[in-house]
Amino acid sequence: MPQLSADAIEQLRAQFDRQLEVGLHHGAQLAVYVDGDLVVDFAGGSTGPDGDETTPETRHVLFSCTKPFAGVGLHQLVEQGELDYDDRVVEHWPEFADDGTQKASITVRQVLSHTAGIPFGEFDEQYESWGDWDAVVAAMEDIEPVFEPGTTPAYHAINYGWLVGELIRRCSGQSVEEYVAENVFEPLGMDNTGIGLRDDEPNDVATLAGYEAFERCHDIDEGLEDPAAYAGAYNQEAMRRTVMPAANGIGTARDMARFYACLANGGSLDGTQLLTEATVDEATTTHAETESDGTLSRPARYGLGVWTGGLAADMFGAASKERMFGHAGLGSSFGWADPELNVGFALVTNGIRDESFEHAARVGQLSDAVRLLLQD
């Protein structure tokens, strides 16, 4: 099994530090597991423009890196027989759609693979209601398809979490943040990670900094609009305490790398089994693919709750392979697993960069370094 030598780790540290030196972010963390062991656990920079030192324990907003955490919770319920991937959502959530409508045909598999056809709607702009789960449920019951279900891969940036979260609640009897904490984070020892901040937790999360567009790069009209504009919203304590299973996980690179190390190892790590190997294989196989995603306007590959690699436009690095899987967080963070090398990787930062190039470039540089140094 390939390993990172002391010299390789030193070289990787130099690349990590270089990104901080040139100002790609105020603070960052990089963690890497190889064959079940934490071999890289870097932190540097500050927790904000005028913040304290970033340490490996500093918690950050993880944005859409949250999605796979919730997804694993739903996969566990499938393993338990509480639902099936090809069940229609209305079988578990009858109020979701009226009988005989196009929306009533939406399946659990389509929700997880971003092909449900309801990627966005009016509720996306109703931030004041996101903290009210009853309002969330009502909005998902009222929303109408933008695309015919099952036909068009279109990233469900926020709605993915509402849908998966309510399915978890309907099938387990627990709220999504409670279920995932009890069945994913706690068993795996992800002690500094949660879906939103709980009432008894301090608001000690690193401050996000939005950067202007990189003027020397052509605007290729991809990704979500103006990712830097999200910094102000997600620096608000109320937003951090909202339960958003698609977008406001709070955590560290160390915890995220551990999560992916578990999945890279077939769903188990240090005696804890989150999923069976068969479920991991099903979840991390490509289920939907497109040359132009209906939301992001770029090529995309989706497993069930994760992105899969092998595309020039993805963030797994120049050496990306389809067998790799993981997820990005809005212009800020990325985590992936490589089951062939048994590696779990996570980069977490507080500097929101443009998704189309800068975010992908800084993540890709470190992803490539890890995989190349492992194979030296």
Predicted local confidence at residue 221, as pLDDT: 54
- Lookup: tokens for 357: 């190039």
* pLDDT of 288: 98
- Predicted pLDDT of residue 23: 86
**153/293 Cα distance (integer angstroms):** 6
Q: Is the pLDDT of residue 79 over 90?
A: yes
Q: Tell me: the pLDDT tens digits for 45-65?
A: 999 888 899 999 999 999 999
Please check whether residue 166 is in contact with residue 136, taking contact to mean a CB–CB distance below 8 angstroms. yes
Task: Retrieve residue 213's tokens.
Answer: 């567009």
The sign one gets for the Cα dihedral 341, 343, 349, 354 is: positive
Confidence class for position 212, pLDDT limits 50, 70, 90? low
Q: What is the pLDDT of residue 224?
A: 54
Following DSSP, what letter does each residue of 161-222 receive, concatenated?
Answer: HHHHHHHHHHHHSS-HHHHHIIIIIHHHT-TT-EES--TTS---BPPPEE----TTS-----
Name the pLDDT band for 188 (thresholds 50, 70, 90).
very high
Span 339-345, average pLDDT: 97
- The pLDDT value recorded for residue 215 is 45
What does the pLDDT look like over 193-206, one tens digit per residue?
999 999 999 999 99
What confidence category does residue 351 fall into, taking pLDDT thresholds of 50, 70 and 90?
confident
What percent of the chain shows pLDDT beyond 70?
A: 93
Q: What pTM was estimated for this model as a whole?
A: 0.95
pLDDT exceeds 90 at position 80: yes
In order of their start, the domains of the chain are 3-65+191-213+222-375 (3.40.710.10), 75-176 (no CATH)
Check residue 136 and give its pLDDT.
98
**Averaged pLDDT, 166-192:** 98
pLDDT band at 177 (very low <50, low <70, confident <90, very high): very high
pLDDT in tens, 235-280: 899 999 999 999 999 999 999 999 999 999 999 999 999 999 999 9
- For the segment 159-174, the average pLDDT, to the nearest whole number, is 98
Mean pLDDT of 324-332: 92
Per-residue pLDDT at 227 exceeds 70: no
Residues recorded for the chain: 376
DSSP state string for 219-282:
----SSS-GGGHHHHHTSHHHHTS--TTT-EEE-HHHHHHHHHHHHTTSEETTEESS-HHHHHH
Average pLDDT over residues 63-71: 97
Residues 118, 145: contact at Cβ < 8 Å? yes
Q: Given this model, what pLDDT does residue 228 score?
A: 63
pLDDT of residue 356: 66
Check pLDDT > 90 for residue 191.
Answer: yes
Instruction: Check residue 316 and give its pLDDT.
Output: 92
Output the average pLDDT for the chain. 93
pLDDT value, residue 353: 79
Residue 9: predicted pLDDT: 96
Q: Does residue 214 surpass a pLDDT of 60?
A: no
313 vs 327: which has the higher pLDDT? 327
Residue 291: burial class (beta carbons within 10 Å; 0-12, 13-18, 19+): exposed
- Is the pLDDT at 29 greater than 60, yes or no? yes
Q: Kindly report, residue by residue over 107-151, the tens digit of the pLDDT.
A: 999 999 999 999 999 999 999 999 999 999 999 999 999 999 999
